[in-house]
Chain A
Amino acid sequence: MTLKSLLLSATTTLALITAPAMAEPVKVGLITTLSGGGAGIGADVRDGFMLALKAAGDAGKEIEVILEDDQQKPDIAVQVADKMIQSDNVDVLTGIIWSNLAMAVVPAATAQDKFYLSTNAAPSALAGEGCNPKYFSVSYQNDNMHEAAGAYAAAEGVKKMFIMAPNYPAGQDSLAGFKRFYDGEVVAEVYTQVGQTDFAGEIAQIRASGADRVFFFQPGGMGIAFLKQYAESGVDIPLIGPGFSLSEDILPAVGDAALGTINTSHWSTDLDNPANKAFVDAFRADFGRYPSLYAAQAYDTANLLLSASAKASPSGDPDGFRAALQAADFASVRGKFAFGPNQHPIQDFYVLEVENRDGGLTNKIVGNAMTDRGDAYAELCKM
């Protein structure tokens, strides 16, 4: 027996003696994007997750986190996940932001009997027939935010919509999700290129379309570029976005051009519950910025994990651990939170508006979009 493993077993024994109710330490592999253009979102995921562990005090120290960068590349994400599973021997994987990376990692991880808790990406392929007992989405199902925007536009009685998204699977799902709940006329449906930086052509089409509102799904840098150019264009048709298009990680870069823009999300910095207030205050105190929905989801994921690992060990009692996850017995920053039959959330969606609060840009809640929304794929899931 090496010195290291001797020490390790000694400390675990000690831990068992001093705190018999405490479960054994849980190893978590946190894979997220920490370099390149997507690093802002990754920083929010990391900071939200670690903040929850820090806030949990001694219980948080029972969770050992192995943090690695996926460079926003599917092949790197798979390599990192394999290393974490085979050599680091993690119990739970989490943290991936992008759906294409999740599709590369999640099925392989669950096939090797590891739990995967999604802090963000939740593609439809993993919500319906591809659902898995070891896979939980703590965020949403990919279509949800767009459905909420469609429901909002329908409730507002918007007659003519111009809708726009990048031409890739999540973009196509976005427009399909929007149309699922919008019952008015779609005057134009435009697909842009992924990574597009100039939107002059699309803005000309918007100007000529005669639409009453514009729905745009443009995450990350694409959204920054579109919002800046739209503000300069002299077109004054109001915009509606899913929460991703106006999240707190990009708002400072967009600036005042974003003020007053309507978007739909399951969470907001001003959502009124004690857990959220504690989270937003602690996040601002530690990092000096408003948390985004990505940070909120990661914070919830860590708290869900803490609540379940306090009841059962993922390696020693996987069935008990899974049941504890399903119970979702934690104080979510979203207020109420429950899992549906396919282990995706059932939650409320709100209408938000960008505002300037205490010298920073963030969103405030101005209405409700959907109540107790699950997803369109749950009935296809057989577990």
Chain B
Amino acid sequence: MLLAEQLLNGLQYGMMLFLMAAGLTLVFGVMGLINLAHGALYMVGAFACAVVAASTGSFWLGLVASLAVAAAAGALVEMLVIRRLYNRDHLDQVLATFALILVFSEGTRWLFGDFPLYLKLPPALSGAITLPGGLQYPFFRLVIILVGAVVALGLWLLISRTRLGIRIRAGEADREMIGALGVDIAKLYTIVFALGAALAGLAGGLVGSIQSVQVGMGEPVLILAFVVIVIGGIGSIKGALVGALLVGMTDTLGKAVIPGLFARVMDTASANTTGSAVASMLIYILMAVVLLVRPQGLFGARV
């Protein structure tokens, strides 16, 4: 029963990571842009959700707001800052988007104060339900698995079945050529960036409701999202999904199993500290192994 619950935990953690990483891989893959401000947009989504939910009393309106506000913030940032960076090298992009993190963090603190905000799940999503087999599991975590699957499917359909998707793929392959063919490349990039931001915002609103909505909440997310897309292959939605599930499973099962394994060869106290330290390194070891064996990532097209 514990193993079943931990497997389910690994799956839902993976889906959570996919939600966080999907927008980043889209922007990175299509636009070739390293966007460190992705975590800041995640934070913007969570704050928008918390503020709107608190003032209207509706979590669902909050979720809509997290999508809308993050998309708007993304579009604005693209037009004001990011647009000037496409022809610069990656170091300039890193610098500028790192500056954006600081601007967003302190701006948010200035607007909403020093203290974490309150954001609670609506009654319809809260509580635990009993699964077949008698396992009690939080309903909201099942919802996250579902939303992750829907977003994955939606993105796949968008990229492979729609005109916008064709343009996105074309832009990924050769941005000058599709510009010459009469596609408004500037507008396309704004749309893609806003879409990526909206995905980050949605993840912020959803995941923020079972975490702490506070300044700086985006930075750990950013690191994990980068690990996921490096493992999955940069720019690949499928890669992000597989990478996220791999990282989720590795992290959850590692933390559940490794301290116990260490306890067989050393005393309990040091097994607990060492074991948990090793467990927290596992995903980075996984990333290193993937990079050694397949430097372009599991589903990466380019090196």
Residues of A within 8 A of B (CB): 34-37, 39-40, 42-43, 167, 172, 189-193, 195, 197-198, 200-202, 204-205, 207-208, 220-222, 224-225, 228-229, 232-235, 249-250, 252-257, 289
Contacts and interface: CB of A to CB of B under 8 A. Distances in A.
A225 B272 contact: no
Given A197-B207, A208-B1, 11 more contacts: A36-B105, A37-B217, A40-B116, A42-B114, A189-B268, A200-B141, A201-B9, A204-B5, A207-B2, A232-B128, A253-B119
Given A167-B276, A190-B272, A221 B212 contact: yes
Contact of B276 (A191, A232, A235, A254): A191
A195 B212 CA distance: 11
B126 A232 contact: yes
A253 B217 CA distance: 14
Given A167-B276, A167-B277, A37 B216 contact: yes
B269 to A, nearest CB: 7
A334 B213 CA distance: 32
Given A200-B252, A232-B128, A39 B1 contact: no
Contact of B215 (A36, A225, A256): A36
B120 interface: yes
A254 B9 CA distance: 22
Interface of A is mostly: helix
Contact of A255 (B1, B120, B138): B120
Nearest to A289: B115
B118 A252 contact: yes
A185 to B, nearest CB: 12
B126 A201 contact: no
B272 A191 contact: yes
B296 interface: no
Contacts of A189: 268-269, 272
B136 interface: yes
B220 interface: yes
Interface in B102-129: 105-106, 109, 114-121, 126-128
Contacts of B213: 253
A224 B115 contact: no
Contact of A224 (B1, B105, B212, B259): B212
B211 interface: yes
Nearest to A231: B126
A289 to B, nearest CB: 8
A253 B138 contact: no
A253 B139 CA distance: 21
Q: Which of B213, B276, B277 has the most CB of A within 10 A?
A: B276
B212 A193 contact: no
Specify which of A198, A222, A256 lies most central, judged by the most chain B CB atoms within 10 Å of its CB.
A198
Contact of A39 (B120, B127, B215, B255): B215
Given A35-B106, A39-B215, A228 B138 contact: no
A257 to B, nearest CB: 8
Contacts of A40: 114-116, 214
A287 to B, nearest CB: 11
Interface in B135-157: 136-141
A167 B280 contact: yes
A43 B114 contact: yes
A37 B215 contact: yes
Interface in B236-287: 252, 255-256, 259, 268-269, 272-273, 276-277, 280
A40 B193 CA distance: 32
B272 A224 contact: no
Which 7 A-B residue pairs are closest in the complex by CB-CB distance? Answer: A234-B128, A37-B216, A221-B212, A224-B212, A253-B116, A191-B276, A43-B114
Given A198-B13, A201-B9, A191 B252 contact: no
Interface in B1-16: 1-2, 5-6, 9, 12-13, 16
Contacts of A34: 114
B6 A190 contact: no
B303 to A, nearest CB: 32
Contact of B121 (A172, A191, A232, A253): A232
Contacts of A229: 138, 210-211
A39 B138 contact: no
Contacts of B117: 253
A192 B279 CA distance: 10
A201 B256 contact: yes
6 contacts: A42-B114, A200-B9, A202-B255, A204-B9, A208-B2, A229-B138
Contacts of B138: 200, 229, 232-234
B115 A200 contact: no
Nearest to B6: A204
Given A201-B9, A232-B121, A233-B128, A221 B116 contact: yes
Contacts of A220: 212
A30 B184 CA distance: 55
A43 B115 contact: yes
A197 B211 contact: yes
B210 A225 contact: yes
A289 B277 CA distance: 38
Contact of A192 (B105, B106, B256, B276): B276
A160 to B, nearest CB: 15
Contacts of A192: 276
Contact of A190 (B127, B140, B276): B276
B204 to A, nearest CB: 12
A249 B116 CA distance: 8
Nearest to B120: A255
A233 to B, nearest CB: 5
Contacts of B141: 200
A167 to B, nearest CB: 5
Nearest to A228: B210
